[in-house]
Structure 1
């Protein structure tokens, strides 16, 4: 009986230690949105250095943006109050026409605000060059 109890305790301790190390808070971009990513019909983007929003309704360009953002992993910031933020940021609006929903994204390099919730970009850095190229590619 003591051996069984010992094995159960050791197994439970090892399992608990493993479960404590797993990061359950990582999310994909599409999991953070209020709108259905497949239903996005319009995207508006503004860069920190630009005061003009550029708009695209091209499904391929919208898909390219969502696909890039899905390559990153996001970790929710507790309390939605990051300790520091840059003074400038990129703004993105995503519109889904059929259900009149809208999501907004504020990109502060490694911190991103998506629909009133702050996230850290983890595992892979956010490439500001992607946004600049994307912005310049919108007519």
Structure 2
């Protein structure tokens, strides 16, 4: 009878140890998720690299402050996109500026951006490496 009691005690201790490790693992996973959310603003753990559309949207946000006109139309369907190594994106396209005087101006641009990680939709996660604009 004493042996049965000792065997039960060993089994209970072993199962309690397994439950303890599982709880520790769950706490670790939860802490990682909270940390990712705090750093990137997104809970998505498997977002991967931004695609061409994400990079083009960010490029527009970098270009708008450099224009002389408040009324700018980008050619969303006619841009060219290339991805280089080390998360560097190159985008070629154009935009049309409409001025108050009624004049319009077409400007071709080539922008080079570096993605630094995090949410691809946030401009703070990108670095402008180069911007060339030709009228």
State the TM-score, normalizing by the size of structure 1. 0.38
Q: Identify which of structures 1 and 2 has the higher relative contact order when contacts are C-alpha pairs closer than 8 Å and 6+ apart.
A: 1
State the TM-score, normalizing by the size of structure 2. 0.39
- Point out the structure with max Rg over C-alpha: 2
Identify, as 1 or 2, the structure richer in helix. 2
